[in-house]
A and B are shown apart, each in its own frame.
Chain A
Amino acid sequence: MNRRLIVNGAVWLVLLTAAIWLPLLGGYMALASRVLIYALGAMALNLLLGFTGCMSFGQAAYFGLGGYGAGLFLTHLGSSSVLAIVAGTLLGGVVATAFGPLIMRRRGIYFAMITVAISQIFYFIAERWNDFTGGEDGLSGFSRQPLHLGFATVPLDSVAFYYFVLFFFAVGAGVIAMLLHSPLGHTFIAIRENRRRAQFLGIHVERYVWASFAIAGFIAGLAGALNALQNNFISPANLYWVESGNFVIMAVLGGMRNFWGPLVGAIIFIGIQDYVSSYFPNNWQSFIGVLFVIAVIFFPTGILGILRQRVKVA
């Protein structure tokens, strides 16, 4: 109980002070923003994967839809960054909610396959619908707008944007944390642990899988919207199954039974992507791949899983 408080305090302190220590380590704020965005996407996936026990391999659909929602909002509807994020979150979440009944009865590999299939539908729509989505070139021509706070207008430059992202990251992470400590979260975990037992305690397992899928869709949409704002660009690649795989890798690498596991996974993933790709622009993925294989074989509970075991033993 106390240790959890210390860990949480430390994580938030590190994230809040990133503008101070990151430049000293040679990092830059846009990198930190990207870490948070992908961490939030991976945490959304992990609500399904790590805490409800459903192997979604199509989380990029809702991440990408969030991006298109935000981008299209700024292109056609308005010039508010915050409203663009709301639009992206809603698009990701509503679509996930709508597809929920189709996926909630599937289990294991079938669950994974149908989530991939759905995500590929959106990938092809985004890739082909040139007039609306920009087709395979992606959607550009929008840009994130300064933040109007009433008393001041804040341009979202790199440092300000990081804190803008951190705010929404905190909202998303806060929602997940609140859920996991609520009866609903207990029910999700029960389903992960033993579906049959949950069902024979009177729990309508499918409805809860749907709920978990929908919530994960909203949060992935939020992360995707932030991603579109960071790049002022969104492309079909963000909807592609490879992107879904990236979220899985982050969650597993960091530790999918741990609340902060996906954040740790995202730090490693984005860090390697940034650092290694400047030396090996075409095959940085192989480094991720090797690391992933090592992780799955030698520490299947992820980096935080191993750390927790060490702490327990000591």
Chain B
Amino acid sequence: MSLLSLTAVSRTFGRVVALQDVDLEMEEGRLYAVIGPNGAGKTTLFNLISGFYPASSGQIRFDGQQINRVPAANRVTLGLVRTFQITEIFPELSVFENVRIGVEAEARCSARPWWSPALSRQINERVDELLSITGLTAQSGRTVSELAHGDQRVVEVTMALSRRPKLLMLDEPTAGMGQSETEHMVKLIRDLHVRQKQSILFIEHDMDLVFGIADRITVLNYGKVLATGTPKEVAADHQVQAAYLGEAE
């Protein structure tokens, strides 16, 4: 059974059709990439799946459940956790405090109005564990707004991981990164996928990167699915070649 399944999902903004009849099936354990030119509807797709805004029509199912009307915050609890193209973090808090917010939410204690040493120890241990997974231990005490852009992106991924996602959604995880930062992020994504068997759905611009790590790819163009398949299949698709290389033939 698919982990994530979209059937004829559309979204319009006024007269603009951002997405039209998009079908997408993603099995558990995949490292699945969504690619496409600017304005193809990739981020709109993410926003529909994560509940940022509702689909105009069509069905979104996650983990066997229809989630069209589930509010965004509840989707996180179901296991759908995302990052954003423009990094969304808690700027004036430390790396540790940023991740702690997610860990406390995962421990279902965000609303607890008192402090207890036992709970606090348990929370802190989990935060430290997450920071070591993503390689942020040394930055733990630093204020995130002072970090390099690449590290801020990693903080956001760490926060997403704190909710133990069934599906981790990364919106252009390497956007705006230099080469070494990109390599670090790619290694992190790979490690999560291989070692933790993390299912990951990501949007990416960098074609070499996508074809290097993804095991399934969906290509969007003008709000429609152009092609879906393994990297090999997608690379061999004539329509994809036309969309990316111009109408050469």
User: Which of A's residues lie within 8 Å of B, judged by CB?
Assistant: 178-179, 181-187, 189-190, 193-194, 196-205, 207-208, 211
**Nearest B-chain residue to A196, judged by Cβ:** B88
List residues of B (61-113) whose CB comes within 8 Å of A's CBs: 71-74, 76-77, 81-82, 84, 88-93, 97, 100-102, 104-106, 109-113
Q: Which residues of A contact B55 (CB under 8 A)?
A: none
Chain A residues closer than 8 Å to B13, beta-carbon distance: none
A182 to B84, CA, bound (A): 28
B residues in contact with A186, CB < 8 Å: 97, 100-101, 104, 110
Q: A187-B104, A194-B89 are in contact. Are A199 and B72 (CB under 8 A)?
A: yes
Q: How far is the CB of B153 from chain A (nearest CB, A)?
A: 13
Chain B nearest Cβ from A207, distance in angstroms = 8
- Can you name 9 A-B residue pairings with CB atoms under 8 Å? A183-B110, A186-B100, A194-B89, A194-B90, A194-B91, A196-B88, A200-B88, A204-B73, A207-B111
Q: A200-B76, A201-B160 are in contact. List 10 more A-B contacts (CB 8 A).
A: A179-B113, A183-B110, A186-B100, A186-B104, A190-B93, A194-B91, A202-B105, A203-B101, A204-B71, A207-B111
- Chain A contacts of B73 at CB under 8 A? 199-200, 202-205
Inter-chain contacts of A183 with B (CB < 8 A):
104, 109-112, 115, 119, 123
Closest Cβ neighbor of A194 among chain B residues: B90
How many whole Å from A90's CB to the nearest CB in chain B? 18
B163 at the A interface (CB under 8 A): yes
Are A200 and B110 in contact (CB-based, < 8 A)? Answer: no
Which among A189, A193, A211 is the interface contact of B111 at CB below 8 angstroms?
A211
Q: Measured between alpha carbons, how far is A88 from B128 in the docked complex, in Å?
A: 45
Which among A182, A189, A196, A200 is the interface contact of B81 at CB below 8 angstroms? A200
User: Are B101 and A178 in contact (CB-based, < 8 A)?
Assistant: no
Chain B count of residues within 8 A CB distance of the other chain = 37
Contact indicator A200/B82 (Cβ below 8 Å): yes
B50 within 8 A of A: yes
Chain B residues whose C-beta falls within 8 Å of the C-beta of A184 in the assembled complex: 110-113
Question: In the complex, which residue of chain B has the Cβ closest to the Cβ of A180?
Answer: B115
Q: How far is the CB of A51 from chain B (nearest CB, A)?
A: 12
B92 pairs with A193, CB closer than 8 A: yes
Q: Which chain B residues numbered 134 to 156 have a C-beta less than 8 Å away from chain A?
A: 156
Residue among A183, A194, A207 with max Cβ neighbours from chain B (10 Å): A183
Residues of B156-174 whose CB lies within 8 A of A: 156, 159-160, 162-163
Alpha-carbon distance A190/B163, docked complex (angstroms): 15
Closest 10 pairs between A and B when the two form their complex, measured CB to CB: A202-B76, A193-B90, A197-B88, A184-B113, A183-B104, A190-B101, A187-B110, A183-B112, A183-B109, A201-B102
Please, which residue of chain A has its CB at the minimum distance from the CB of B162?
A201
Q: Within 8 Å CB of A197, what residues of B?
A: 88-90, 156, 159
A189 and B93 contacting across the interface, CB-CB below 8 Å: yes
Q: Which of B74, B90, B92, B156 has the most CB of A within 10 A?
A: B90
Q: B110 contacts A203, CB within 8 Å?
A: yes
Cβ 8 A contact of A202, one of B77, B114, B123: B77
Q: Which residues of A contact B109 (CB under 8 A)?
A: 183
Instruction: Write out the residue numbers on chain B whose beta carbons fall within 8 Å of the beta carbon of A178.
Output: 113-115
Is B111 within 8 A of A208, CB to CB?
yes
CB contacts (< 8 Å) of B81 on chain A: these are: 200-202
**With A and B bound together, what is the CA distance between A203 and B81 in angstroms?**
12
B110 nearest CB neighbor, chain A only: A187
Choose among B76, B104, B109 the residue with the greatest number of A CB atoms under 10 Å from its CB.
Answer: B104
The docked-state distance in angstroms from the alpha carbon of A199 to that of B80 is 12
In angstroms, Cα B114 to Cα A178, docked, is: 6
B112 touches A193 (CB 8 A): no
Which B residues are CB-close (under 8 A) to A204?
Answer: 71, 73
